[in-house]
Structure 1
Amino acid sequence: MSKITIDTDTSRATPNPRPGKRMTVPKIRSMKRGPGIAQEPLVMLTAYTTRTAQLLDPHCDMLLVGDSLGNVIYGLDSTVPVTLDMMIAHGAAVVRGSWHAQVTVDMPFGSYEESPQQAYRSAARILKETGASAVKLEGGEAMAETIHFLTNRGIPVIGHVGLTPQAINVLGGYRARGRDDAEADKIKRDAKAVDEAGAFAIVLEGVMEEIASEITRSVSAPTIGIGASKDCDGQVLVTEDMLGLFERTPRFVKVYHNLADQISAAVEEYANEVRSNSFPTDEQTYRPKG
């Protein structure tokens, strides 16, 4: 295990280096729950910056550098415009800020769908330039060949079925999937195909609870739910959603803290002190000694 020495007197980004053993893909894969298996559910959250990764890392098994950064960081209407360069820049930042959690980076729209060869080039670049240990891609049966191609060439993959945000222009909205029998059957087939192709975990997003529970029981890879079922082998949320940084959140989000109000109050206090000339004080001012 390599150790890195960091000057904590000058590094705001990394004030408390904590060398340790990072969660691995085989370890995540082994955390599949089931009858007779006493296993805690996997904990996953999204992260896009070094400082956020530092705060989340001690509590999470997995950090996902999601293409949701298009909405959360860049204010885009969907994830479709997100680029490979954007994902790599944020992926590297998250790896730098973590030491314990396994880090997965989303493959953005247009970087893998054309062919397994295109996907390999994109995924290899992600792993080389970020230090992450896996990629995630959306799609079921249509992407099974690509997942098989990547995993057989040393690139671990997390699958993603159900509500797939990159396909929003086809789906027509962000409603829950699997409400009718035909769609439910397709999601089940997609999950089976991704599992058999070698994905080491599968994200189930925005699917009816019964479907998510059935899939979790039927596949060998751990399932990670987001708007799915507590029966999944793990759960993931967008961190900014669960911290209350946005006025509107999906129904499946539980807001654990309202940081938006706290930030607004702190900025209001700062603005008032600046305008009243009560900031900075002597404590924040440099003066000659002696």
Structure 2
Amino acid sequence: MSPKLVMMTAYDYPTGKLVDEVGVDFILIGDSLAMVVLGYADTKSVTVAEMLHHTKAVCRAVKKSVTIGDMPIHSYNTPDIALKNAKKFIAAGCQMVKIEGYQPDIFNVLKKNHIKVVGHLGLLPQTAKVYKVQGKDAKDAKKIFQDAKSMDKLGIELLILECIPSLLAKKITDAIDTPTIGIGAGIHCDGQVLVLHDIIGLSDFQGRMVKRYANVKQDIRSALSRFKKEVLTEKFPDQKHSF
């Protein structure tokens, strides 16, 4: 059995450097930066320019992990637009780009131009009206499964499965050669991804699929409070921190 694949998001130079040093397989510069970094309500507001700004910062830091640029909404409305923008992500330092949904015309034009594509099925945040588990009924499950098989035949590099039942994720993983990466899709995928800010406690999101491994927000707040107190009480800077 092959070892599980590990993917993590990063959005700037410091987080890119830390995630890369841990030795994950893939670093996704996700459009989730819209919420966790830029303060937007959802992923629908982030622009290509904003994504590229953060992508360049992450890629400057990464030495080992494979970097994936998450193409935002409207950046791949047509094959020509997709190719134009995908080239920008590659120029920014990415080795792959990610696109939501089954988009055969776009996959084909990118592959023809030697751009590696990561697919994404299940919950699709760029177009979802309600964030909920997908593929729970037979019709939706069949559609996701068929799309996964079709994308596999097109030669995508990875397939992210988001918020689908564990057994559906297992069925897909067993049926295709493309490695699957789960986020809220159970243990049977070939690998897992989560949002960095969620697992370190820097975001407010506490969905069922998220496990907290740290509480960085509390640590930062404590450090800032101590700094403020020491400035107000004239304990900082002391002689050790002065010239």
Give the TM-score range, shorter chain.
Answer: over 0.9
Q: Equivalent residue for 2:64?
A: 100
- Please say if residues 10 and 16 of structure 2, whose CA atoms lie closer than 8 Å, have aligned partners that are also in contact: yes
Q: Distance in 2 between matches of 1:258 and 1:89?
A: 27
Structure 1 unaligned regions, length at least 5: 1-37
Residue 19 of structure 2 aligns with an amino acid whose one-letter code is L
SS in 2 for 1:87: helix
Please tell me whether residue 156 in structure 1 is matched to residue 116 in structure 2. Answer: yes
Q: Equivalent residue for 2:170?
A: 213
Please tell me whether residue 137 in structure 1 is matched to residue 94 in structure 2. Answer: no
Q: Distance in 2 between matches of 1:55 and 1:109?
A: 28
Q: Distance in 1 between matches of 2:205 and 2:86?
A: 33
Q: Deviations over 1:166-199 (max 9, x none)?
A: 012xxx2111111111111111122122212221
Query: How far is 1:241 from its partner?
Result: 0.2
Equivalence map 1:35-50=2 (5 Å):
38-50=1-13
Q: Equivalent residue for 1:197?
A: 154
Q: Distance in 2 between matches of 1:234 and 1:156?
A: 18
Q: Distance in 1 between matches of 2:151 and 2:79?
A: 14
Structure 2 unaligned regions, length at least 5: none
Q: Distance in 2 between matches of 1:44 and 1:152?
A: 26
SS in 2 for 1:99: coil
SS in 2 for 1:207: coil
Partner of residue 38 from structure 2, selected from 68, 74, 78: 74
SS in 2 for 1:165: coil
SS in 1 for 2:126: helix
Please tell me whether residue 147 in structure 1 is matched to residue 107 in structure 2. Answer: yes
Q: Equivalent residue for 1:272?
A: 229
Q: Distance in 2 between matches of 1:275 and 1:183?
A: 60
Q: Distance in 1 between matches of 2:41 and 2:154?
A: 32
Aligned-pair identity (%): 38
Q: Distance in 2 between matches of 1:60 and 1:207?
A: 24
Larger Rg: 1
Q: Distance in 2 between matches of 1:48 and 1:212?
A: 27
- TM-score for the superposition, normalised by structure 2: 0.97
Q: Distance in 1 between matches of 2:4 and 2:20?
A: 16
- TM-score for the superposition, normalised by structure 1: 0.82
Query: How far is 1:57 from its partner?
Result: 0.4
- Please say if residues 145 and 197 of structure 1, whose CA atoms lie closer than 8 Å, have aligned partners that are also in contact: no
Q: Equivalent residue for 1:31?
A: none
Please tell me whether residue 65 in structure 1 is matched to residue 26 in structure 2. Answer: no
Q: Deviations over 1:9-43 (max 9, x none)?
A: xxxxxxxxxxxxxxxxxxxxxxxxxxxxx311111
Please tell me whether residue 187 in structure 1 is matched to residue 149 in structure 2. Answer: no
Q: Distance in 1 between matches of 2:172 and 2:186?
A: 10
Which runs of 4 or more aligned residues in structure 1 lie more than 4 Å from their structure 2 counterparts after TM superposition?
none
SS in 1 for 2:45: coil
Q: Distance in 2 between matches of 1:230 and 1:204?
A: 12
Q: Distance in 2 between matches of 1:248 and 1:163?
A: 16
Q: Distance in 2 between matches of 1:82 and 1:248?
A: 18
Partner of residue 18 from structure 2, selected from 55, 65, 77: 55
Q: CA RMSD in A?
A: 1.0
Residue 46 of structure 1 aligns with an amino acid whose one-letter code is T
Q: Distance in 1 between matches of 2:154 and 2:73?
A: 20
SS in 2 for 1:104: strand
SS in 2 for 1:160: strand
